[in-house]
Amino acid sequence: MADVTSDARLVQGSVKWFDPAKGYGFVVADSGGPDILLHVNVLRNFGQSSVADGSRIEVLAHSTSRGVQATEVTSITPPDSGTTAELSDFAMLDPEEVRQAPLEPARVKWFDKGKGFGFANIFGKAEDVFLHIEVLRRSGLADLQPGEALAMRVINGRRGRMAAEVFSWEKATPLNEG
């Protein structure tokens, strides 16, 4: 690990890019300066294994002998919905209706970022729930790994059950929507 100096500072910015396969990405600070390295382990400590490009992010950053690195993520806000395509399945949905749907615990069956979709299973149910990459992006995620635990709001779309919102399990559990 690179030597860390004591110049820790809270930085707000946006995710330039993040590649879960490489295990890192970069944050561009609103205040300017060099890009800030965001390692997947720092992101996992926040409860996510990926983050969508363009997401707003707040990190605790330190200067090291190798450059500026994020050591803690304090908040992530998904990119504006205007930056992603609207899925036809959601065009007629009332956003309030989606928010009223219960959070359901699920596990990723598989997800292919290149294809832009995958499937998950709700705990205790055998049916597959469709996961589209645009739903992930709106939720602030960029990719999912098989076996990853999630909380999802699920709707009946034209092609069957599909996730309308996705949260990392760690971020959803405090909501206790009972």
**Residues in a beta bridge with 131:** 118
Last residue of a domain, one of 77, 95, 117: 77
Residues 139 and 87 reside in one and the same domain: yes
In a domain, 2, yes or no: no
Long-range contacts of 172-175 (CB under 8 A, 24+ apart): 172/103, 175/103, 175/151
In a domain, 128, yes or no: yes
pTM equals 0.63
In a domain, 59, yes or no: yes
Q: Is residue 136 scored above 80 in pLDDT? A: yes
Can you tell me the distance from the alpha carbon of 73 to that of 11, in angstroms, rounded to the nearest whole number? 10
Quick one: pLDDT at residue 38? Answer: 96
Q: Which amino acid is at 44?
A: R
Counting the structural domains of the chain, the total is 2
Torsion sign (Cα): 169, 137, 87, 109: negative
pLDDT tens digits for 36-87? 999 999 998 888 888 888 889 999 999 988 899 999 999 988 877 543 445 6
CATH of the domain at 43: 2.40.50.140
Residues 170 and 108 reside in one and the same domain: yes
Quick one: pLDDT at residue 90? Answer: 64
Residues 73 and 103 reside in one and the same domain: no
Residues 54 and 103 reside in one and the same domain: no
In a domain, 4, yes or no: no
In a domain, 25, yes or no: yes
Quick one: pLDDT at residue 81? Answer: 56
For the chain, the C-alpha Rg in angstroms (whole number) is 17
- State which residues form the domain around 57: 9-77
Residues 60 and 102 reside in one and the same domain: no
Longest dimension (CA), the chain: 54
Residues 34 and 13 reside in one and the same domain: yes
